[in-house]
Amino acid sequence: MADMKNNRIKHNIVCTQPDIENLLELTPEDFASATEEQKESFIQDRESISYWKDAWRRLKSNRVSMVALGVIIFLILFAFVGPSVMPYGYDQFNKGAENLYPWHYSLEDGEKLAEAQGSAEMRLELAFEEAAKEKGSDLTSIEKAKIKAQVNTSGLDEGKLRKELGIHKKLFGYSKSELLRKADGEKIFPHIFGTDKYGRDILVRTMIGTRVSMLVGLFAALLVLIIGAIYGSISGYAGGKVDAVMMRIVELIYSIPEMLVVLLLATALNQPLKDYMNSGVGGLRNFVGVLGPNLISMFVAFALLYWVTMARIIRGQILQLKEQEFVTAAKALGAKNSRIIKRHLLPNCIGQIVVTTCLQIPSAIFLESFLSYLGVGVSAPLTSLGSMASDALGGVQTYSYRLVIPAIILSVLILSFNLFGDGLRDALDPRLKK
């Protein structure tokens, strides 16, 4: 036992500071395999913390971006699970349920309201007739307006009437027939956000719209990532003339007015993709069919013009990294250029790549809604948040909720991606944090 202890002490000394004298006094015991006890003393007390764990820890302590992450997860569920839970389809016309508000009146209240409105209209008509008799000719519209101002027309204004009768709005939209069926004991799912002029449920349409926006955002960001990372790393790694030429091209694309070209590109790509989908050949046909030619043309347009930012950032990173020793070591070991880029350089700028990709998503969503709003984006019956807002513009005075709902969801979506991206940047690259 004492011998062991002695041995261990000796061992420890050797470990901490190599003492020449001790080294010279090597005994065969020094080469004996370590005991369990000794092995244990080498195990670190703390678990090693990897890059991602560390980043996650930092991210978790950032309350704003955690809330943003929560909102994003909620919206993902809303967009991808929601429509399959709902009993209505996004392109289903619910007959008799057109133009519903996101609120309703109970059956009795509705009747009262209709009656009162009817009587007010009657009063107005009577007043018109009397005036016409007095005058002996038809009334001009100005005279009519004057009479309207005199007669008690509070019945025509729903808001005032509601106050007079003491009727309250009830949450969610039901059509009259649905209310009747509900009174009979049938279970009816309400139109929570109301319906549009064809009787389509706005909640389901919002879900589908959010899904489209998210898909465009994710796919466009992915394409940008692929093109930008390859281009940027080749340009940065090659250096010299190749780099100069490649960066000139990037500068050129930078100065092209992207909105104009994206608009044209999205319109131009649409038809060939449709033809391709209907042609019946080609392996990607199913893929095109699932997403729809409109969507694909949109994110191809996006990817073709927006990869330049990513390429610039990655090139900058690679320029710094390629001078470091590990690259020299890899070269000395005979690694090919492609291997150095793939295995050694790109993994080292993963933080930047993730952050830039994440911040591409909101700008892609931005662009998609912009295009859809202008009528170049997804086409009916598929919808997106942008095209819903643009459809609602016509009846904005009466049905403002149709505009407000998609607008708010779109803003929340972009906002949470922005906030999450900011948080991710702080977490992945703490040096940037000020």
Binding site for other proteins (CB under 8 A): 251-252, 255-257, 259-261, 263-265, 267-268, 271-272, 362, 366, 369-370, 373-376, 386, 389-390, 392-393, 396-397, 400, 403-404, 407, 410-412, 414-415, 418-419, 434
**Smallest gap from residue 188 Cβ to other proteins (A):** 30
> Which C-beta is closer to other proteins: that of 225 or that of 410?
410
Q: Give 195's strand partners.
A: 201
Q: How far is the CB of 399 from other proteins (least distance, A)?
A: 9
CA distance 312 to 316: 6
For other proteins, which is the closer residue by CB, 94 or 372? 372
Neighbouring residues of 79: CB distance < 8 A, sequence distance ≥ 6: 207, 208, 210, 211, 214
SS3 170: strand
CB of 136 to other proteins, least distance (A): 34
Q: Which residues contact 400 (CB under 8 A, 6 or more apart)?
A: 392
Is the CB of residue 363 less than 8 Å from the CB of residue 306? yes
Least distance in Å: CB of 418 to other proteins? 6
| Closer residue to other proteins (CB): 126 or 244 | 244
Give the span between the Cα atoms of 363 and 302, in whole angstroms.
10
Q: What are phi and psi of 79, to 5 degrees?
A: -85, -35
Nearer to other proteins, 88 or 417 (CB): 417
Report DSSP letters for 9-74, one per residue. Answer: HHHHHHHHS--HHHHHT--GGGGSPPPHHHHHHHS-SSPP--HHHHHHHHHHH-HHHHHHHHHHHH
Q: Which is nearer to other proteins, 7 or 418 (CB)?
A: 418
- Where are the alpha helices (H) located in 239-342, listed in sequence order? 240-255, 258-279, 285-291, 293-321, 325-332, 337-339
Closer to other proteins by CB, 217 or 386: give it: 386
User: What backbone torsions phi and psi does residue 232 show, to the nearest 5 degrees?
Assistant: -65, -40
Q: How far apart are CB 392 and other proteins at their closest, in Å?
A: 8
Contact 424, 354 (CB under 8 A): yes
CB closer to other proteins out of 118 and 272 = 272
- Provide the minimum distance between the beta carbon of 362 and other proteins in the complex, in angstroms, as a whole number: 7
Closest approach of Cβ 255 to other proteins, in Å? 5
Contact between residue 175 and residue 97 where contact means Cβ atoms under 8 Å apart: yes
Comparison of 67 and 179: residue with beta carbon closer to other proteins: 67
- Least distance CB 265 / other proteins (angstroms): 6
In Å, the largest CA–CA distance within the chain is 133
Backbone φ, ψ for residue 158 (5° rounding): -60, -40
Residue 247 CA: distances (Å) to CA of 104, 341, 346, 356: 60, 18, 19, 19
Query: In whole angstroms, how close is the CB of 273 to other proteins at the nearest point?
Result: 12
- Closer Cβ to other proteins, 116 or 371, answer by number: 371
Question: Which one, of 398, 40, 77, lies nearest residue 207 by Cα?
Answer: 77
* Residue (265 or 291) nearer to other proteins, CB: 265
Minimum gap (Å) between residue 416 Cβ and other proteins: 8
How far is it, in rounded angstroms, from Cα 391 to Cα 383?
10
- Taking a C-beta distance cutoff of 8 angstroms, is the pair 314, 227 a contact? no
